[in-house]
Structure 1
């Protein structure tokens, strides 16, 4: 098989960026996947420490959601879900790598973490259908993931704090919309560019 044919087969629809990493045997593929899962969890934990408090809200602006969605798109649904499951379980068990170094279950923002578990599976599945290969498609994929996170995070915030639905929206959604647009813009530039570079190297 020629190099050109090989490149075409590895970048066809159904492939995510992580699949382009070489693994010549099944054993090496498993090692690669374990490393990717661990790396995705670690990246999310580090990004969660980039936090800016929001006045009047118990939920800070962080890089956590951006990292989680990029992990989902880059690794695919299965590996992305495993990464976020590891991140969530380790944080619940006491590892201080939720937003602002928090851990455990007694945090009002835990719903956002749970939402990320579903969101990464969704964006990973969309990425396998080419949802990260163009600017507009990446924007749509980010939007789907973000909606899922808020759909779980905001109601959980209301239940955990006793807020009304309106108060939870005001504290747990509205202050983050501008940041979400900026995160989507970063992904819209980074992921399609990574695919273009991968094609050129091939």
Structure 2
């Protein structure tokens, strides 16, 4: 069995003990909060374009299901409690974007599961992780946006998904470059187990 098969996700190499696990959970939340600050308003929608979904997917892919869910749960809970690390240095829960925040937690879980099974090691696999994660986020975010704004399902898709597809494509390419590179770095010089 190779070292890649022996280790489910990247953080399994370092998450030995509660303090390291806690540090990784906090780091994933902090990275997502930092990436949320790269935020651009999108005309016609209360949902801004941000890089935070890249943080969500990277957290899932590198931390695995349990740690990623804890990390995104921490991100959402602290942001709801007043830490200004949502888009545009905001905090608190806003109904039109609340579904996306819940989607972050679910996407981190799905991506963590796929990563633990070998996803994200190569370019196309990393693309697949990002696509799955994005679809999970949209699957929760868009319906909540429709309910919060009274928009039709089509209008909610036009407000909450379509304007972000090009940006998501760029984030997919970023993840596809980062994840396989991180695995190659970690496994450089590793001997088969």
TM-score under structure 1 normalisation? 0.89
Q: Does structure 1 residue 21 correspond to structure 2 residue 14? A: yes
CA distance in structure 2 between the partners assigned to 1:170 and 1:17 by the alignment: 36
Contact 1:16 1:75 in 2 (8 A): yes
Structure 2 partner of 1:100:
88
Contact 1:14 1:129 in 2 (8 A): no
Structure 1 partner of 2:147:
159
CA distance in structure 2 between the partners assigned to 1:118 and 1:95 by the alignment: 21
- Aligned-partner SS, 1:76: helix
Q: Does structure 1 residue 110 correspond to structure 2 residue 98? A: yes
Structure 2 partner of 1:26:
none
Give unmatched runs, 5+ long, in structure 2: none
CA distance in structure 2 between the partners assigned to 1:54 and 1:89 by the alignment: 25
CA distance in structure 1 between the partners assigned to 2:180 and 2:129 by the alignment: 12
Tell me how far 1:188 sits from its aligned partner.
Answer: 0.7
Structure 2 partner of 1:77:
65
Structure 1 partner of 2:50:
62
Contact 2:39 2:51 in 1 (8 A): yes
Structure 2 partner of 1:35:
23
CA distance in structure 1 between the partners assigned to 2:109 and 2:186 by the alignment: 23
Contact 1:14 1:130 in 2 (8 A): no
CA distance in structure 1 between the partners assigned to 2:183 and 2:28 by the alignment: 19
Equivalent residue for 1:172, pick from 160, 165, 175? 160
- Aligned-partner SS, 1:109: helix
Q: Does structure 1 residue 12 correspond to structure 2 residue 5? A: yes
List per-residue Cα deviations over 1:139-159 (Å, max 9, x = no partner).
111111110000000011111
TM-score under structure 2 normalisation? 0.93
Work out which of the two has the higher radius of gyration on C-alpha atoms and give 1 or 2.
1
Structure 1 segments (4+ residues) deviating >3 Å: none
Moved more, 102-111 or 51-60: 102-111
Count of aligned residue pairs for this structure pair:
190
